[in-house]
Amino acid sequence: MNTETTTAGLGRRQALRLAGLAGLAAALPGCGRGFGGKNDDDGKIELNMVWWGDAQRAQFTQKTLELFHAANPDIRVRTEYQDSSPYKDKLAARFAASDPPDLMAMRFDSLREYADRGTLLDLATHTDRLDLSGLTPQATALGQVGNQNFGVPSGLNTIGFVIDKSLTDKYGVRIPDGDTWSWTDLATFAQQVSKASKGKVYGTNFEAFTVANLLVFARQRGEDFFTADGRLGATAATVTAWYQMIESLRAAGGFPPAGFIDQNNGTSPAQSYLAKKQIASQIIPTNNLLGYNQACGGALQLLRIPGETQATRRGQSVDTPALWSIAAKSKHPQETLKLLNFLVNDVQAGKAAGATRGVPPSTKVAEQITATLEPDNRRSNEFLAALQKEKLPASYPYPVGASKLTNILKTISTEVEFKRMTPAAAGEKFMTDARKAIAG
């Protein structure tokens, strides 16, 4: 046998083995995944449910799903989750690939992006399967576009102001009355903290680019940031006033200097400047109170947003971090509706989920689980329950294109922070860019 044939022979055998492996590898994902909820080998119907969040939320979600599986042995729910920013991109890609999940967490600012393009199931036509009678009209309105309904709040929240009492005690600063304080009170408070700590701790910091913050400020000035028919209702004057207020906070020393805050630092409580004790107060979504309080050592006080009693009208509203939506192309809409109905109305499911997505949207469920919650979650639940009883302005789904606004505001905020743009110019710039973003 000469060397040449040996190599050729070996090569061929190896090649065949290799080709076999390649074929196997190609076939594997096909049988392993079970795209978009088809019937599995064991006859169970498989639903795909996707959401964003962390490992802790995953634990809570899994617990609720185990309850669902026990009650519905013929349905299996396969979940996927990740951080919020890759989630958004991946969801769009899955729709583009005609492989939408059956049940999905939907960003409030993206609802109309999907709904207006006909990709979501109209839940209003399925009231026989999905009971939404336990929700307040305000909570139901969060998923409504006209007469249609494309989402159920996965949990309710609002924004609140937290102040670290361990720091104010340390520096001998009095915390203002959280129910009646004004923006001026905030400025005075922030300045006192910065001064007393000799610049080691800044009195306050909040994101100038978060739409939810600016939205409350606009309402207090009598404007709807977004109108019911999906337009931009805020004016340049409001955006200007917002930046003027922040700039004067900064100039007085109550707000950190330019460049101090990394606006892309991440949003987890553990990474926050509050947890690092570099600032004494900030705005947070109320469903994160537990996480923030744990990260800060347990001395956080929860206050309302300043200006609520002085303003022309109320600014705060009952909102949601995410809605549950069902894909219009779901292969198993009935079973998915069943799952959604379970998540919304089952008390045991509500107990298992805790407050990881905010206060349960159904007031019945919310009332029954409050006693079982941890003190911090109970605090934010009660905060929201009290708020729901007040007369508040409605919150409308963000218009198509609104998801671009955060980036626009981030850019403008940086320009103002480094004095490359005046607050007045920022107001004008925002109007130009926002109108363009929302128009097309």
Partner 1 sequence: MTTLAPARTRRRQDRAGYLFLLPWFGGLLFMVVPFFASLYLAFTHYDLLTAPRWAGLANFRQMLGDATLHQSLRVTLVYTVVSVPLSLIVALAVAMILDRGVRGLAIYRSIYYLPSLLAGSVAIVMLWRYIFSYHGIVNDALAWFGIQGPGWATDPRYALGTLILLHVWTFGSPMVIFLAGLRQIPAMYYEAASMDGASPWRQFRSVTLPLLSPIIFFNLVQALIASFQTFTQGYVISNGTGGPGQSTLFYNLYLYQKGFAEFDMGYASSMAWLLLVIIAGFTGINFLAARFWVFYDN
Residue 114 interacting with partner 1 (CB under 8 A): yes
The residue from 11, 146, 297, 375 that contacts partner 1 (CB under 8 A) is 11
List binders of partner 1 among 131-150 (CB under 8 A): none
User: Sheet holding 152-153: strands in order across?
Assistant: 75-82, 45-52, 103-107, 322-326, 152-153
Name the one range near partner 1 by CB under 8 A: 82-90, 170-178, 307-315, 355-363. 82-90
Question: How crowded is the C-beta side of 183, counted as CA atoms within 13 Å?
Answer: 16
Count interface residues toward partner 1 (CB under 8 A).
45
Site map 225..264 versus partner 1, x via CB under 8 A: ---------------------------------xxxxxxx
Residue 1 interacting with partner 1 (CB under 8 A): yes
Backbone angles phi, psi at 110, to 5 degrees: -110, -5
13/313 with CB nearer partner 1: 13
Residue 18 interacting with partner 1 (CB under 8 A): yes
Q: How far is the CB of 5 from partner 1 (least distance, A)?
A: 5
Buried b (16+ CB within 10 A) or exposed e, 62-96: eebbebbeeebeebbbbeebeeeeebbeebeebbe
**258 close to 190: Cβ distance less than 8 angstroms:** no
86/146 with CB nearer partner 1: 86
Residue 389 interacting with partner 1 (CB under 8 A): no
Residue 404 interacting with partner 1 (CB under 8 A): yes
Residue 368 interacting with partner 1 (CB under 8 A): no
**CA 43 distance to own-chain centroid:** 36
Instruction: Report d(CA 253, CA 184) in Å as an integer.
Output: 14
Residue 198 interacting with partner 1 (CB under 8 A): no
Question: Residue 313 is encoded by which pair of tokens?
Answer: 């009208």
Query: CA angle, 226 as apex, 223 and 232 as ends, to 5°?
Result: 90
- What residue type is 297 in one-letter code? G
Residue 270 interacting with partner 1 (CB under 8 A): no
311/327 with CB nearer partner 1: 327
Q: How far is the CB of 412 from partner 1 (least distance, A)?
A: 8
Residue 403 interacting with partner 1 (CB under 8 A): yes
Residue 268 interacting with partner 1 (CB under 8 A): no
Query: CA angle, 349 as apex, 345 and 353 as ends, to 5°?
Result: 120
Name the one range near partner 1 by CB under 8 A: 67-75, 219-227, 342-350, 400-408. 400-408
The residue from 28, 71, 92, 439 that contacts partner 1 (CB under 8 A) is 92
The residue from 44, 57, 88, 129 that contacts partner 1 (CB under 8 A) is 88
Residues 6+ apart with CB under 8 A from 111: 143, 145, 150, 151, 323, 325, 397, 398
172/259 with CB nearer partner 1: 259
CA distances to 83, 270, 298, 374 from 273, in Å: 20, 9, 15, 24
Q: How far is the CB of 21 from partner 1 (least distance, A)?
A: 9
Instruction: Report d(CA 77, CA 349) in Å as an integer.
Output: 15
Question: Residue 147 is encoded by which pair of tokens?
Answer: 């007469």
By CB under 8 A, name the binding residues for partner 1.
1-2, 4-5, 8-9, 11-12, 15-16, 18-19, 22, 26, 85, 88-89, 92-93, 95-96, 113-114, 117-119, 258-264, 266, 278, 401, 403-404, 407, 410-411, 414-415, 418, 420
